[in-house]
Amino acid sequence: MLNFQFKNPTKILFGKGQLSNLAQLIPAAAKVLMIYGGGSIFRNGIYDSVKNALSGHTVIEFGGITANPEYEVLLKAVDIIKSEKITYLLGVGGGSVIDGTKFLSIASCYEGTNPWDILSKKLVPERNIPFGTVLTLPGTGSEMNPRAVITRSETHEKLSIKDDHLFPVFSILDPSVIRSVPRNQLANGLADSFMHVLEQYLTYPVGALLQDRFAESILQTIINVAPQIMSDASNYEAACDFIWSSTLALNDLIAQGVPSDWTIHKIGHELTAIHHIDHARTLAILAGSYYRYTFEAKKEKLAQYAASVWHVRQGTIEEMASEAIEHTVAFFHSLDIQTQLSMYTSDYQATAATIAETFEQRGWTALGERNNITPADVLEIVKQSY
Ligand code: NZQ
Ligand code: ZN
């Protein structure tokens, strides 16, 4: 096991009815900006519940955060936070709203001239506005981690940031919220959280037995509940297992003491920036080609994954590792997620070259757990996902 330092300060309130505690979580004197997306919270009643819970607080609203939160929209919210002297932020939504809220928490304290530098140059201010979240769509894990991913359509960029200021103070996870989530978004949440575990697990063995068991149990739980969630999102017990699995998949617990990869996510963000494909689907497109391309380096963990998660009992390491990849792709298909880029766009031919060139320009020349994935490798991996 590798050395590590771990702290996760986010308070989780899990279960039905936890929204009623919202008022106690935010200081009474706070001036709150409630941040939400395109309006799903009006249709499923979450807006009313939050407003009722905060009836004793001063609350201003900012709606319209887009899926893949858009930088230009967020800048408008920064102006409001400054002019209204907001002291607390509350993000009510999925990963996009929560990531947008995280960005606002630091961008409104940023004193430089170009807030995009926060993402492109990792210039994070020393202070931030405290924020909490009410999760409405499980998958990204943003509710309990210090990461955010922001999109700038104007330049076709989608960049991520990780910083301790981006931990929510609290997150409310009421599993009954997923009743209103459309089927394709449920599939996205299941696939995204599954891939979060694989990015931190499919590397090379370092003897971290407990982290491996954690990772395998999250994968097994997602596989078990996926058919129930897809057929009936009002199944509360399944929703509980889904939400808690997706939170634990990316609250950095399973990453401690082990190598992580994240190459698929880095390439996936480019597929979203170029082709506007949902985040989770970009990961499903790339997983098969990436694990086939890195087969030699990853075959031991792939074989372990085959045995522990997919119950493959026979075969050489290579045979088991290959089966694991096939099972993974089949899992995405079971969620009605297509796994080839050409199924999403007819305009894909230049994609691999564009992404490889972008990575070269950014100096992203040594990706993966062994720092050996070059832009030339990225070119091949993306081509093989066509
Ligand atoms: O905008 P509204 O109207 O709220 O509708 C949303 C949106 O259209 C809808 N939705 C959310 N909760 C709902 C609901 N519809 C009905 N009922 C509900 N209860 O779902 C749509 C998608 O929402 P979005 O937040 O965009 O999805 P997701 O949670 O998948 O977030 C995706 C974003 O998170 C980033 C992705 O890159 C992408 O930008 N990620 C963030 C990570 C992090 N911070 O740790 C890690 C991930 O790997 C990922 O990169
Ligand atoms: Zn993800």
User: What is the DSSP track for 305-363?
Assistant: HHHHHH---SS-HHHHHHHHHHHHHHHHHHTT----GGGT-S--TTHHHHHHHHHHHHT
- For the domain spanning 182-384, the CATH number is 1.20.1090.10
Report the separation in Å between the CA atom of 137 and the middle of ligand 1, taken as the mean of its atom positions.
Answer: 6
Neighbours of 236 (CB within 10 A): 13
Question: Which ligand has the nearest atom to the CA of 35?
Answer: 1
Report pLDDT for 242: 98
User: Which pair of structure tokens corresponds to residue 352?
Assistant: 């691999």
Rounded Cα gap, residues 101 and 26, in angstroms = 15
Residues β-bridged to residue 150: 159
What stretch of H or E contains 159? strand 157-162
Rounded Cα gap, residues 26 and 169, in angstroms = 9
Domain residue extents for the chain: 11-176, 182-384
**Average of per-residue pLDDT across 355-378:** 98
- Using CB distances shorter than 6 Å, the residues near ligand 1 are 37-41, 44, 67-68, 93-97, 99, 136-137, 139-142, 145, 147-149, 177, 180-181, 185, 188, 192, 250, 265, 279
Nearest alpha carbon, ligand 1 atom 49? 140
Rounded Cα gap, residues 81 and 213, in angstroms = 44
Task: Express each pLDDT in 248-262 by its tens digit.
Answer: 999 999 999 999 999
Rounded Cα gap, residues 107 and 74, in angstroms = 9
Nearest alpha carbon to residue 257 among 323, 315, 213: 213
Report pLDDT for 13: 98
Note whether 386 and 341 are within 8 A (CB): yes
Question: Which ligand has the nearest atom to the CA of 99?
Answer: 1
**Strands 31-36 vs 88-93: parallel, antiparallel or unpaired:** parallel
The one-character DSSP state at 85 is: T
- Place 268 in a pLDDT band, splitting at 50, 70 and 90: very high
Report the separation in Å between the CA atom of 38 and the middle of ligand 1, taken as the mean of its atom positions.
Answer: 11
Question: Which ligand has the nearest atom to the CA of 191?
Answer: 2
Nearest alpha carbon to residue 187 among 281, 82, 99: 281
Report the separation in Å between the CA atom of 243 and the middle of ligand 2, taken as the mean of its atom positions.
Answer: 14
**Average of per-residue pLDDT across 52-58:** 97
The per-residue pLDDT of the chain, averaged, comes to 97
- Place 138 in a pLDDT band, splitting at 50, 70 and 90: very high
Report pLDDT for 228: 98
Report pLDDT for 42: 97
Residue appearing with tokens 């492109």: 120
User: Which atom of ligand 1 lies at the shortest distance from residue 41's CA?
Assistant: 4
Intrachain domains 11-176 and 182-384 with the same fold: no
**Average of per-residue pLDDT across 31-40:** 98
Report pLDDT for 70: 97
Task: Express each pLDDT in 157-173 by its tens digit.
Answer: 999 999 999 999 999 99
User: Which atom of ligand 1 lies at the shortest distance from residue 65's CA?
Assistant: 1
Q: How far is CA 71 from CA 65, 78, 96, 115, 135, in A?
A: 9, 10, 11, 9, 21
Name the CATH code of domain 11-176 (choices 1.20.1250.20, 3.40.50.2300, 3.30.360.10, 3.40.50.1970). Answer: 3.40.50.1970
Rounded Cα gap, residues 340 and 278, in angstroms = 13
Nearest alpha carbon to residue 101 among 59, 137, 139, 73: 73
- Place 271 in a pLDDT band, splitting at 50, 70 and 90: very high
Report pLDDT for 258: 98
Rounded Cα gap, residues 326 and 291, in angstroms = 10
Q: What is the distance in angstroms between the CA of the first residue and the CA of the last residue of the chain?
A: 37
Report the separation in Å between the CA atom of 260 and the middle of ligand 2, taken as the mean of its atom positions.
Answer: 14
Report pLDDT for 35: 98
Q: Residue 34 burial (CB < 10 Å; 0-12/13-18/19+)?
A: buried
- Place 240 in a pLDDT band, splitting at 50, 70 and 90: very high
- Testing ligand 1's pocket by substitution, the residue of 133, 174, 185 carrying the most ligand atoms inside 8 A of its CB is 185
Report pLDDT for 127: 96
Rounded Cα gap, residues 166 and 162, in angstroms = 7
Neighbours of 25 (CB within 10 A): 17
Report pLDDT for 222: 98
Report the separation in Å between the CA atom of 23 and the middle of ligand 2, taken as the mean of its atom positions.
Answer: 31
Nearest alpha carbon, ligand 1 atom 43? 142
Nearest alpha carbon, ligand 1 atom 30? 95
Task: Express each pLDDT in 288-330 by its tens digit.
Answer: 999 999 999 999 999 999 999 999 999 999 999 999 999 999 9
Note whether 166 and 146 are within 8 A (CB): yes
Whole-number percent of the chain with pLDDT over 90: 100
Report pLDDT for 117: 97
Helix, coil or strand: residue 20: helix
Nearest alpha carbon to residue 303 among 216, 370, 381, 384: 216
**Average of per-residue pLDDT across 69-84:** 98
Report pLDDT for 141: 98
Question: Which ligand has the nearest atom to the CA of 195?
Answer: 2
